[in-house]
Amino acid sequence: MIEIKPFDGLGQFQNEWLAARYHFSFANYYDPAQMGVGSLRVWNDDTIRPGTGFDMHGHRDMEIITYVREGAITHQDHLGNKGRTEAGDVQVMSAGTGIMHAEFNQEEDPTKIFQIWIEPAVQGVEPRWETRSFPKGERTGELVPLASGRPEHEGALPIHQDAAILGATLKAGQSVTHRLDAGRHLYLVPATGRITVNDAEAGPRDGVVVRDLDEVVITATEDAEILLADVA
């Protein structure tokens, strides 16, 4: 089964510094039919105005992956970590027993991110944060693991779950194939461009849910950048 969730139908939030779309129930947006896919609980599409961001706040027992689509995000936490993650790159925060952090756009232009939360397989781990560069040129026509708890995904940022976030850039007409093990699900979002997933069409920032299939072929109908979560 393939289900398309159009971008225009996603949950919405906007204030003076943040424009957000929520793929699943989050904060004041609640839809009992949109509570996530497997261990994937949050996929937020955030645009943050220059010089603004999320003030210091806390999390526990969640794997929080940030994929920067445009601009850069600057992280700071109570553990002493501080770093800047640029467009195309990824940061992972394992909240574990508890972490306080802030995320700011210190750039001159808006920053656009995907904020992805995955429930961990184990609770109470030591909190941690890490960022890593994943050049887009190395993802042309190929799905590259960006964050993963699967042993075969060497080089990906580690998370505490049998799940993986993978990304690819595709020229118009290019395809990639992704196989799904039994009992696993896929959630896929084109950050840019238009694609087909098997025969289903999806546009920029639409969500695509895949269940009960053992393989999908993702084809770019125009130049596209895609991100997907493979979860149980």
Q: What does the pLDDT read at residue 166?
A: 98
Pairing of strands 144-148, 157-158: parallel
Q: How far apart are the C-alpha atoms of 24 and 2, rounded to whole Å?
A: 17
Task: Tally Cβ neighbours within 10 Å of residue 14.
Answer: 10
Among candidate residues 95, 111, 133, the one where a domain is terminated: 133
Positive or negative, the CA dihedral 87, 37, 203, 166 is positive
Among candidate residues 133, 159, 187, the one where a domain is terminated: 133
Among candidate residues 133, 156, 185, the one where a domain is terminated: 133
Domain span holding position 169:
137-231
Q: What does the pLDDT read at residue 194?
A: 98
Name the domain count of the chain: 2
Domain identity same for 141 and 180: yes
Positive or negative, the CA dihedral 113, 201, 25, 157 is negative
Domain identity same for 211 and 175: yes
Domain identity same for 129 and 148: no
Q: Contact at 8 Å (CB) between 190 and 167?
A: no
Q: What CATH number does the domain containing 42 carry?
A: 2.60.120.10
Q: What does the pLDDT read at residue 190?
A: 98
For 123, residues 6+ apart whose C-beta sits below 8 A from its C-beta are: 61, 96
Query: For the whole prediction, is pTM greater than 0.95?
Result: yes
- Please indicate, yes or no, if residue 4 is contained in any of the structural domains: no
pLDDT in tens, the chain (232 residues): 999 999 999 999 999 999 999 999 999 999 999 999 999 999 999 999 999 999 999 999 999 999 999 999 999 999 999 999 999 999 999 999 999 999 999 999 999 999 999 999 999 999 999 999 998 888 999 999 999 999 999 999 999 999 999 999 999 999 999 999 999 999 999 999 999 999 999 999 999 999 999 999 999 999 999 999 999 9
Q: What does the pLDDT read at residue 41?
A: 98
- Please indicate, yes or no, if residue 201 is contained in any of the structural domains: yes
Q: Contact at 8 Å (CB) between 114 and 189?
A: yes
Q: What does the pLDDT read at residue 135?
A: 87
